[in-house]
Amino acid sequence: MKFFNAGQIYAADKSTIEKQGISSNELMERAAVQIFNWLHLRMQGAQVKIHLFCGIGNNGGDGMALARHLKEHGYNIEVNVVNYSDKRSKDFLINLDRLKDLKIWPNFLERDCGFAEIGRDDIIVDAIFGIGLNRNPDPWVAKLIQHLNHSGAFILAVDVPSGVFMDKAIEDTNAVIRANHVLSFQAPKLIFFLPETGVFSNQWEVLDIGLDPEYLAATETEYDLMGKNEVLPMYVPREKFSHKGTYGHSMIIGGSYGKIGAVALAARAALTVGSGLVTAYVPRCGYVPIQTLLPEVMVITDKDEDCIKSIEFDIRPTVVGLGVGLGTSPETAEALSGFLDGIESPLVIDADGLNLLSKHKELLKKLPPKTILTPHPKELERLVGSWKDDFEKLKKTKAFSKKHDVIIVIKGAHSITVYGGHGYVNTTGNPGMATAGSGDTLTGIITGLVAQGYAPLDATIFGVYLHGRAGDIALEQTGYQALTASKIIDAIGMAFIDLFKMPEVPEQEGQEES
Ligand SMILES: NC(=O)C1=CN([C@@H]2O[C@H](COP(=O)(O)OP(=O)(O)OC[C@H]3O[C@@H](n4cnc5c(N)ncnc54)[C@H](O)[C@@H]3O)[C@@H](O)[C@H]2O)[C@@H](O)CC1
Ligand SMILES: Nc1ncnc2c1ncn2[C@@H]1O[C@H](COP(=O)(O)OP(=O)(O)O)[C@@H](O)[C@H]1O
Ligand SMILES: [K+]
């Protein structure tokens, strides 16, 4: 699914209006009817008080049109116009008049006015600002937003939570609606998936308002949302007349005294994802544990007992996953530098492998094209430098990816794979995965996919999806707290099977269950 920016959404509106021969107000009416249907299905005429807060632009116009439908169906509503500007939109005015025709007189809220009490059991419809917000709301509007947030009432936001910008960070978090549910028109917005803005849209859902499908299909976007439909075409099927050599040889290089488990997790994940062969390259102290834990995995040891000091072997792996549990000693850095000089296979780098690259930036020049880097935010900061907000983080990551021709996974609640100017936002995963070794597992998964012939970018996007899906499946047995990295690996098989299961009822990608 594509993430359209505000300019593209306005262009889609225009194209829809022209091609379908409708007025902009008819498009607004479609949007309002969709929201009304959503509410009506759930409320079935219940007389809970609904407070609508409408701005004076088209987001407010949606709210006004919704108010009319609610009134016509006998709902208990109160309409407030948040009169923050006199530049009222044409369609807002049309819908204000149509509301007045029904003898509904909204309260006009202005600077210095008081705000009426809202009961905890009431419902608030937030139609103050939509995607047109272009500067911080006035302090009195921020005060109103705080009043709504503190009311304890359920807040349903129209299109976006009022106060979020589509393409830049929030400056005053007190001036943003904390929505319980967002009904987003036509497509989800990128801001629902970024940590700083996502917290304001607890749950979201997309309402199809029939925007011009040709325009939507032809328009290139900077970011895509990767759900099952998007990753399924990347799946590489197993061939009948294949053998273990067909599915590649993964080598996991890492480990140090006390951190051999990280290699065990990555190696087991590579094997479980389907790599034909897996070899672990570890310091000598890792020999017995890996051989005992993983009979399927071969082991090559460094000369040193406790940490890797030289990376030398006489096999030719299809791919190398490097860095988990590795440590960052100067001897290990030296070993990495020598290894990169002669590297012939694709490379996945995680954890201390990334920290070594950050400490010795000259090593970046030695990376093979399309090397896959999987940093968590702290490791990313060491690589690309600090950022002031999520948007700058993405910008810096893209620049870094372009400069060094690397694929970067920004790990988090919604991990984002960045390659060049493009970002792929993952839909799977859950907070139970914030646990030791969960990242090592991802390294193994991506390495094992590259081994089987997945192109590096596909392996990364597909691997991130599969890792999250395995975490979601494991969660059903463990709950959040007891979810461990080993349980994620155990569920990889089910995550593959799940790729080909059709949902019983159509599911909305990325939507969290309440
Ligand atoms: N294709 C779609 O997605 C459709 C969107 N519609 C609605 O249209 C909305 C966008 O409407 P608008 O472009 O009118 O914008 P908004 O309603 O989001 O904002 C209102 C206007 O206020 C001004 N403004 C921005 N920031 C301000 C601030 N801090 N203080 C005071 N004034 C400020 C802007 O000039 C803006 O045009 C969408 O979010 C959605 O609700 C629907 O009506 C129809 C179809
Ligand atoms: N709240 C969350 N929701 C979804 N996934 C998460 C969440 N927290 C962490 N994860 C995932 O778990 C993994 C953690 O990786 P990392 O921090 O490197 O762990 P470790 O170093 O312990 O292996 C990442 O893939 C990340 O996307
Ligand atoms: K809104």
Cβ neighbours of residue 378 closer than 8 Å, sequence gap 6 or more? none
The confidence score (pLDDT) of residue 245 equals: 84
262 labelled binding-site residue? yes
How does pLDDT run across 290-320, given as a tens digit for each residue? 999 999 999 999 999 999 999 999 999 999 9
| Residues 212, 277 share a domain | no
> Mean per-residue pLDDT for 63-87?
96
167 labelled binding-site residue? no
The answer to whether position 251 is within a domain reads yes
| Residues 252, 208 share a domain | no
* 146 Cα–ligand 3 center, Å: 14
- 3-class state of residue 425 by DSSP: strand
149 labelled binding-site residue? no
* 348 Cα–ligand 1 center, Å: 44
Alpha-carbon torsion (354, 359, 361, 365), positive or negative: negative
The confidence score (pLDDT) of residue 504 equals: 59
What is the count of structural domains for the chain?
2
Identify the band that residue 197 occupies on the pLDDT scale cut at 50, 70 and 90.
very high
21 labelled binding-site residue? no
* CB 62 near ligand 1, within 6 Å: yes
- 3-class state of residue 312 by DSSP: coil
- 3-class state of residue 357 by DSSP: helix
| Residues 184, 266 share a domain | no
- Eight-state DSSP code of residue 432: G
- Residue 92 Cα: closest atom of ligand 1: 14
- Eight-state DSSP code of residue 161: -
* 87 Cα–ligand 1 center, Å: 11
The answer to whether position 131 is within a domain reads yes
Cβ neighbours of residue 181 closer than 8 Å, sequence gap 6 or more? 154, 155, 156, 157, 202, 203, 204, 205
- Residue 56 Cα: closest atom of ligand 1: 20
How does pLDDT run across 374-414, given as a tens digit for each residue? 999 999 999 999 999 999 999 999 999 999 999 999 999 99
The answer to whether position 509 is within a domain reads no
* 379 Cα–ligand 1 center, Å: 38
- Residue 437 Cα: closest atom of ligand 2: 23
The answer to whether position 504 is within a domain reads no
159 labelled binding-site residue? yes
| pLDDT at residue 230 tops 50 | yes
Structure tokens at 361: 């930036």
> Mean per-residue pLDDT for 427-447?
98
* CB 376 near ligand 2, within 6 Å: yes
Domain containing residue 102: CATH number:
3.40.50.10260
Ligand nearest to the CA of 442: 2
The answer to whether position 507 is within a domain reads no
| Residues 424, 473 share a domain | yes
- 3-class state of residue 51 by DSSP: strand
Alpha-carbon torsion (360, 361, 366, 370), positive or negative: positive
The confidence score (pLDDT) of residue 514 equals: 40
* CB 188 near ligand 1, within 6 Å: no
| Residues 310, 182 share a domain | no
The answer to whether position 490 is within a domain reads yes
- Residue keyed to tokens 């968590």: 376
Of 459, 449, 465, 474, nearest to 509 by C-alpha is 465
162 labelled binding-site residue? yes
Domain range for 164 is: 2-218
* CB 37 near ligand 1, within 6 Å: no
Cα 31-199-89 angle, rounded to 5 deg: 35
- Residue 414 Cα: closest atom of ligand 2: 4
Closest CA to ligand 2's atom 13: 439
The answer to whether position 514 is within a domain reads no
Instruction: State which of 15, 64, 133 you would mutate to test the pocket of ligand 1, scoring each by most atoms of that ligand within 8 A of its C-beta.
Output: 133
| Residues 298, 211 share a domain | no
304 labelled binding-site residue? no
| Residues 435, 311 share a domain | yes
Domain containing residue 334: CATH number:
3.40.1190.20
| pLDDT at residue 513 tops 50 | no
Final residue before a domain boundary, out of 148, 183, 218: 218
| Residues 365, 280 share a domain | yes
| Residues 415, 471 share a domain | yes
How does pLDDT run across 155-193, given as a tens digit for each residue? 999 999 999 999 999 999 999 999 999 999 999 999 999
| Residues 205, 61 share a domain | yes
| Residues 376, 456 share a domain | yes
Give the predicted TM-score (pTM) of the model.
Answer: 0.93
- Residue 438 Cα: closest atom of ligand 2: 23
The answer to whether position 512 is within a domain reads no
| Residues 27, 85 share a domain | yes
* CB 195 near ligand 2, within 6 Å: no
The residues whose Cβ lies within 5 A of ligand 3, an ion, are 126, 157-158, 162
What ipTM does the predicted assembly reach?
0.90
Structure tokens at 486: 């080993």
Closest CA to ligand 2's atom 21: 439
Alpha-carbon torsion (435, 441, 443, 445), positive or negative: negative
* CB 415 near ligand 2, within 6 Å: yes
How does pLDDT run across 116-128, given as a tens digit for each residue? 899 999 999 999 9
Are the C-beta atoms of residues 353 and 322 closer than 8 Å to each other? yes
The pair phi, psi for residue 404, each rounded to 5°, is: -105, 5
* CB 263 near ligand 1, within 6 Å: no
How does pLDDT run across 472-509, given as a tens digit for each residue? 999 999 999 999 999 999 999 999 999 999 765 555 55
